[in-house]
Structure formats: C-alpha cells, structure tokens
Structure 1
Amino acid sequence: MKNKKIFLALGTAVLLLACLPTYELFFKDKMDSVEVLIVNAEEGIKAKDQLTEDNVIVERRRKQDLVAGTALATDFKEVIGKEAGKNLVNNSIVSKEDIDFEDLVPDRSKGEAIRPIVNDMIFAQPGSLRRKDSIDIYAISDTDIETNTANETQESDNDSDDADGETIVSSTNPDQEVAATKLKAPILQDVKVVYVKDSSNQEVTNEIEEKGTEERLNATGNISDLEVILDEADFDLLMNTVLSGEKLYITYN
C-alpha cells in the first residue's frame, strides 16, 4: 500500500513536470494576452488615410501593453473602412480613440479646417449643444430682432392665440428675443462641431449623474465659443455675414 502511494506521488510529479512546458508554451501566453488590431504598414498610417485589411492586422499582445480604447479583434469590421484621426506608427496597437468615427478630422483636400465661432458672433445657441453635434446656422440682424420683438410684444398685448412661433431668448442678451419660425433659411447646414467651450477655454460636457449616467441638460459650464469644421467658402460666408453686422442663431439636429 505504501509503495502504491509512492508510485502515485512520483507519477503525479512526473505528469506535472511534463505539463509545465506545455503550459508555458501554449496556455500562459493566451491567458496573459489578447487579440488586438495592429498597424501593418512600414510608413505607418497617416491621418485621414483609410484603415484597410492591408494596413491593419490581428495579433496577440500582452494585456499589460494595451492602450486606452484598444481596438480588439472583434472590432475589426467596425474599424475597417474608417479613417485615422491621427498619424499611426507601424506595429503600434490601434486605439478607437485614434479613429475618426464621427468625421471630426478636417479633410484638407476639400479645404476644410477647424474654424472658431466666438461668443461675440452668436445671438443664441442651445445650452445642451455638445461636441460631435451637427448644427444649422441662421443669420439674424438687429432689425430682425427689433421687428420680431415688437411683433411679439404686440401679439402679447392683444392676447393673440395665433402667435407665429415659439420665442427664442438670446444667449448673449436675455432682454432680446426672436420668433423661431420667422428666421430665414439657414446660411449653413449640417456643420460638424468639434469642440464646445466655456469662457475659460474648457470643453463643456455633460455632468455625470450619481448613477453613472450622463445628463445632457446638466452641463459642466456655460457655452461661450464653438469650434467647427468648415471649408474656405463656407467660412468666408460665415465671416461676411458677421462682418455685415448680423449675428448667428444656432440649432442642432
């Protein structure tokens, strides 16, 4: 009986020693690593270049080497066809944060650039406006503001039940207001917002609620300036509108 126990112990030890190399060679590597997307281009991938099956491959990397927002092998179909949001170095791990999913990178071939819309140019914009929103921009003159304000006052005095539209209050001057439905057609449509900033040049974002969710109506600050993507022609139109004395009324879709 004693001999059987000895042989059993020796057999177990031999089996463990035999399995150890197998674990080191095959299992340990898979347990400590994960399949991720890797840049496979000698010269890297330049910003605005498309990610393809030729310049992105799947390889295993140690979990401790992963970067923020690492694109996993399961994200392959989602990533392929998108454009790089920045220059990507060869053999580097692809991060979703480096991919332009929202078309927030200007296309220089189209004359696009990130252009500022400062607070002095704006008559009003929604307080819930955020980065990545698409906006429509209307032009409104002092005459429009005065005329519409006078009309709204007269309608209020006459207790009219068929007012022309809701009242929009200026973000820069709360004493001014204008009827939304009396605005002309937008001068620019579907303009992509890259940043929404407060007066301290900090991005205005949604506050995080106690439950860990974001509430769009509760902002981290008051909106002052915007940064948007416009080509030269649209930016010239915007600036000519402002220089002519008109203000910008902004809505988002």
Structure 2
Amino acid sequence: RGLEAAELLHLELAVENGTGGQAPARPLTWQVEYPGQDPEAQKDKLVWEVQVSERDMRVLVPLVQELELLNTSPLTGVPRTVPVTLVTVEVGGAVSELSEPPGCESADTQVLQVSEGCDAVFVGGKESRGARGVRVDFWARRLHASLLFTVWAPLLPLRVQLGDTALEQVRGWRLPGNTDSSAVDVEDHGEDAERRARSCRPQYQRTAVRFLAHFVAHPQDGGRHLSYLPGPEWLLDVTHLVAGWARVQDPRVA
C-alpha cells in the first residue's frame, strides 16, 4: 500500500528591506542531520533557488501582431521582422511590461530567428526553408511562454512567364536613331555624319515578363510533403520584388 505524504518540514522565509538593488534569485543551502549520525559522515546538501520579487508575477505573455510570416528576404535581401513585446500578469490582473532582461530561443534557426534582445523575430535571407508551427521560447525568472509561427518561403528557382515567346521585327515601322549607339563618330564630318544622324533603326515586338513563385512550408518531421500558400495550384507574382535584379543572358538577342 502506498504511503501517504507527510509534512516533515515547514519553513517561513522573510526578506528584509525589500528587494531594491538586490539579486532576484537567492540561494538557500540546507542539509539534514540525524541523531546518532557519525559527525564525520558525508552529508548531502540541497540547494534551493528562491525567487524574490516585490511583485507577484504569475504569467509571462509575448504579444505579437501576427503569427504568420512571408519570407521574401531570399528574393530581396531585405529582412522581414515581427516585433515582440513581453508583458507580465500579476495576481489581481495587473499587466506590466517586462522590465528585466528576458531569455529567448528559436527551436529552428533554419526557419526563423529571434533577436538578442528578444524584442523581435525575423528572417534575414539565410534561412533555408519555411515551416509551420516553429516554436520560439521566452523566459524570465521562473516564468516561461512560447509562440508558434508559420513561415512561408519561396520555392526556388522562380518561374519566368512571357506573354509571347516569339518576337519579330515590325515590318514598315522604323524608329529614328542609328542601330549602333556609337554610330555617329565625333571625328566624322560633313554629309556622312549628317546621314548617320538621320538614319533609322528597326522596331521589334515587345512582351511582358512576369516572375512567379510557390511559397511553401516544409514539415517539421523532415518529410517531403509541402504545404503551399494558399494551395499547390497557386503561384504568387513576385515581379515587383525581383524586376530590378533581372538581366537578359544575351543582350544581343533581347
């Protein structure tokens, strides 16, 4: 039959002159000695860490405006940040911003990172994938709290979409100016230079270019099944993000 728990020791602790300017954690070391025990026998010592505070804080709450992040940093090189504010809830319901330095950690830095001051989570372009349910832990003294984020990352390479893949010269339509930007030589004189200045160049068809991407979240268990935003049949237009970096491989062609 199991033994019932019995109270063997009752301690009352008091702190003089409040806690101002003192360490919030106080070590308390104690040991138990029995009558007739050999004085030279090695005694086990226990160390308690007693948290001392002028306020009775019960809950740590991290506040954010969003728990979902679209990671466009691999495309732009610009970090995406979500600010975090840590508050505590005291007995009686009083809420106040955390005044002491907290601790924090991201469970997967390949997806999401947390700032040293624990005041923001962010993606900076070095992350290798997206994921759902990425945990970020926060703690202060004995209090602990976590947030779960969803990060969507672009699936590379991007898809390039052309409105028309066959472009031709527009017959009968020519534009003023020489075909060669250096055609008018500063050393040319007379009629030859005037003729070149009045020459025309051919006009070619144009087409629109769009850059599209899937944004995905990888499974936390390392599987291959991807989650797509908003679905596998959708591609997001990221032309406005990457157009400034786009280059034609052979400018003699297009």
TM-score w.r.t. length of structure 2: 0.23
Larger relative contact order, structure 1 or 2 (CA cutoff 8 Å, min sep 6): 1
Q: Which has the higher strand share?
A: 2
Bigger radius of gyration: 2
